[in-house]
Chain A
Amino acid sequence: MSESAASSPLAVPPRESAHSANPALHHQFEDIEQQHDAGNFGMWVFLATEMLFFGGVFTGYIIYRSLYYSGFAAGSRGLEIDLGAAMMFVLLASSFTMAMAVHAAREGKHRPLIGFLTATIILGIAFLGMKFTEYFHKWQEHMVPGLNFHPALESLRGAPERTVEMFMCFYFFMTGLHALHMIIGIGLLTIMAILAWRGKISRENYNRVEVSGLYWHFVDIIWIYLFPLLYLIGGRYK
């Protein structure tokens, strides 16, 4: 394949025309397809980085969970499982609307694109609302390590205070890191919605929506792991 491309100079597309025909094509790329490929692939590589980023915390979590099971179980039983489950359904729903938004963008359907993006943003904000409600409850229960940690005796359930505190520490760090990613994602989708509203997203450059979608799905998947790790380990249905 490369041989034929090499032998025929005609195989190289005339660059000026490709670039003047499509202002969305950045100067470093040969054609729009290459640009899309690079964008998508770049996001996948970034997600690999993110996986290792969360991986460090997951490793710490797993090690301390096996060392201090009773404290982690006690801490887990203190979490609001209904709220956590509700958050998971909200996020799964947002993944659906995100996928629909990407589909609409690919088809060049303008109004559905704006609608689905807005729905995704609203679901994301709803998730954050519930998350911060739970944080607020933890503050009221004096379960915030470092700042406000004087738990009532029954919330320790016989486990050493230190280990419950460590669980709460991981709880806040992992969900906080996740919430930070959600906030970035909401910002990203807001930009996409504004661009769509101004008519700046067409079938030619829909892949920016697709790339944002990849990121959004990744953040959802992180929660799918966080939910059982943090909320469901307490053995409360035994």
Chain B
Amino acid sequence: MSTAVAEVPVQSRIHYLNANYGIKSWLFTTDHKRIALLYLGSITLMFFIGGAMAVLMRLHLIEPAGALVQPETYNKLFTMHGVVMLFFFLVPSIPATLGNFLVPMMIGARDLAFPRLNLLSWYVYITGATFTLYSLISGGVDTGWTFYTPLSTHYLTTHVIAAAMGIFINGFSSILTGLNFIVTIHKMRAPGMTWKRMPLFLWSMYATSVIFVLATPVIAIALFLVMLERVFHVGIFDPAIGGDPVLFQHLFWFYSHPAVYIMILPGMGVVSELVTCFSRKKPFGYIFIAYSSLAIAMISFFVWGHHMFVSGQSLYAGFIFSALSFAVAIPSAIKVFNWTATLYKGSISYQAPMLYALGFIGLFTMGGLTGLFLASMATDIHLHDTYFVIAHFHYIMVGGAVMAYLGGIHFWWPKITGRLYHDGWARFAALVIFVGFNLTFFPQYMLGYLGMPRRYAVYPAEFQVLNVMSSAGASILGVGYLIPFVYLLWSIRYGPVAGANPWGAKGLEWETPSPPPTDNFEEPPIVPEEPYGYAEPEHAHV
């Protein structure tokens, strides 16, 4: 309805980036688009901090006896890598940046329902990150990102409280974001935007928000109890003074398993958008993809016990958790099959975002299927706490969530900044990341299968070849992540001006100029049609 605005040059138009200037106009903004950019900057910083620790670890593991650091330091490295990457990069990655930017635009609203809460969530995030970075700078934490008790409450003298406090505080930022999204999606859809006309990205955001709201408070309380036990030496989790360490694991995984879906569901939403746009087809089985997001969110609350098969949980509980873990694979598989069916006979173009999406589908499939090995009680006893587990969840989180995040950033970058990046470099980077990723983590499957345990600073000499392969892959992967950082920044100033809709994509966000005006739309949008109204390539059948 508003394609004509694309011809107006970017420079002469007032939009959300040039509506006002100065540091205060950013730090006190309530515009969801600016808050998204604040988040983008902060999580990128955290990503590179967490990434630096991964680089150090892989360097260290080049030699069986350890090449670089003391074992104690190694423990701190993997702990801080996990804490920073999970709580401060992956959990907020897509929801707080792309979600913040796109949720109001995709439903045709001017802003989220509670813009000030949205800004507050960023400040809460920054406060939490400050605590965690303090614990890093002042000497680090070596509990592992899982904070298992009584190790974390009794035996260690490192800065557990500061790190736990950081995660506790950061939880409220997730809760506020989730609350905002749920209310916005329920109450602020534009006229004609029915639930079944919503883009699939919104369904996944909705499912993610439900997990944010219902799971995050539980880890907050669990970590609060850890802090309490450390400060007052009262027995809650420490068996030496009457507590039950398995209770901590229950409370921890009640959040942390759904949190895995917090990380992957938004990625699935992004991929649903990318696959439909670049194959120029309606998604195959829209309603199945949409409801499978909700199904994943629901079932994800009942599978946490598969982390505890060897923790002394009852065998019968193990049966149930194993069966439910298999059940949660079904909606995930529905998505993968539907994406592939969407590709079938589409007019596919291999632009950079699509390369990330295709990479996601392959890597997520591998990560998901190896998850079933771990959800089977018998194989889990062999694979538990080995590099197999590490490879599995990196295939989900790096191969899945980070790939989708980068794909989404590349897809919506012209909308966010109004500029196009260099497509050749972007495709090259996607390829480098894919190769580097597989070289890093595929050998870890083999290492784990052969029995190399995780979280050790040294290893037997026969594992060296695979470890060196993994380290070599990590260096390629690191370079792969630096390339987009450079050309995306470059494009902000020197990139060619993008029109309102450079990909020819469907959706309300593409019907407004890039970058969008502060109120998102020049006139309130009305939605007269089903989503993804790409012209069906009928001629292909002839």
Using CB atoms and an 8 Å cutoff, list the residues of chain A in contact with chain B: 2-3, 5-7, 9, 11-12, 15, 26-30, 34, 37-38, 41-42, 45-46, 48-50, 52-57, 59-60, 63-64, 67-68, 145-147, 162-163, 165-166, 169, 173
Contacts and interface: CB of A to CB of B under 8 A. Distances in A.
Contacts of A48: 213-214
B183 A38 contact: yes
Interface stretch (B94-102, B342-350, B420-428, B520-528): B520-528
B213 A2 contact: no
Contacts of A166: 234-236, 242-243
Interface stretch (B9-17, B111-119, B302-310, B322-330): B111-119
Interface stretch (B121-129, B218-226, B266-274): B218-226
B208 to A, nearest CB: 14
Nearest to B523: A12
Contacts, number: 129
Contacts of B524: 12, 15, 30
B188 A29 contact: yes
B109 interface: yes
B251 interface: yes
Given A34-B187, A38-B187, A169-B234, A60 B247 contact: yes
Given A41-B186, A56-B217, A12 B526 contact: yes
Nearest to A67: B244
Given A28-B112, A28-B113, A41-B186, A60 B191 contact: no
Interface residues of B, number: 51
Given A28-B115, A55-B218, A34 B188 contact: yes
B343 to A, nearest CB: 31
Given A2-B191, A63-B247, A52 B231 contact: no
28 contacts: A2-B192, A2-B194, A5-B191, A6-B528, A12-B191, A12-B526, A26-B115, A27-B110, A28-B109, A28-B188, A29-B188, A38-B183, A41-B182, A41-B183, A45-B179, A55-B218, A56-B220, A56-B251, A59-B250, A63-B244, A67-B244, A145-B232, A145-B234, A146-B233, A146-B234, A166-B243, A169-B232, A169-B235
A7 B110 contact: no
Top 6 closest pairs, chain A to chain B, by CB: A146-B232, A56-B221, A53-B217, A28-B111, A6-B192, A5-B191
A49 B179 contact: yes
Interface in B177-229: 179-180, 182-184, 186-188, 191-194, 213-218, 220-222, 225, 228
Interface of B: 104, 109-115, 175, 179-180, 182-184, 186-188, 191-194, 213-218, 220-222, 225, 228, 231-236, 241-244, 247, 250-251, 254, 519, 524, 526-528
B418 to A, nearest CB: 23
Contacts of A146: 231-234
A45 to B, nearest CB: 5
Given A9-B526, A27-B519, A45-B182, 20 more contacts: A2-B194, A2-B527, A3-B192, A5-B191, A5-B192, A7-B528, A11-B526, A26-B115, A28-B104, A29-B188, A49-B179, A49-B213, A52-B213, A56-B220, A56-B251, A59-B250, A162-B242, A166-B235, A169-B234, A169-B236
Contacts of B222: 56
B220 A53 contact: yes
A53 B221 contact: yes
A16 B236 CA distance: 58
A5 B191 CA distance: 6
B242 A163 contact: yes
Given A60-B225, A147-B232, A6 B242 contact: no
A146 B192 CA distance: 59
Contacts of A56: 217-218, 220-222, 225, 251, 254
B179 A11 contact: no
A107 B348 CA distance: 61
Contact of A41 (B110, B187, B242, B251): B187
A4 to B, nearest CB: 9
A145 B232 CA distance: 8
Contacts of A162: 235, 241-242
A59 B242 contact: no
A35 to B, nearest CB: 9
Contacts of A145: 232, 234
Tell me the dominant secondary structure on chain A's binding face: helix
A54 B187 CA distance: 27
A171 to B, nearest CB: 12
A165 B192 contact: no
Nearest to B240: A162
A45 B254 CA distance: 19
A38 B182 CA distance: 10
B234 A165 contact: yes
Given A28-B115, A38-B183, A59 B192 contact: no
Contacts of A173: 225, 228
A59 B186 contact: no
Given A2-B191, A60-B247, A162-B241, A42 B114 contact: yes
A42 B228 CA distance: 30
Nearest to B529: A6
Contacts of B526: 5-6, 9, 11-12
B191 A11 contact: yes
A147 B234 CA distance: 10
A38 B247 CA distance: 37
A137 to B, nearest CB: 19
Contacts of A29: 113, 188
Nearest to A36: B187
B194 to A, nearest CB: 5
Contact of B251 (A49, A60, A163): A60
A29 B241 CA distance: 54
A64 B244 CA distance: 9
Contacts of A54: 221
Nearest to B519: A27
Contacts of B194: 2
Contacts of B111: 27-28
Count chain B CB atoms within 10 A of each CB in A37, A56, A68, A145 and give the residue with the most.
Answer: A56
Nearest to B251: A56
B110 A165 contact: no
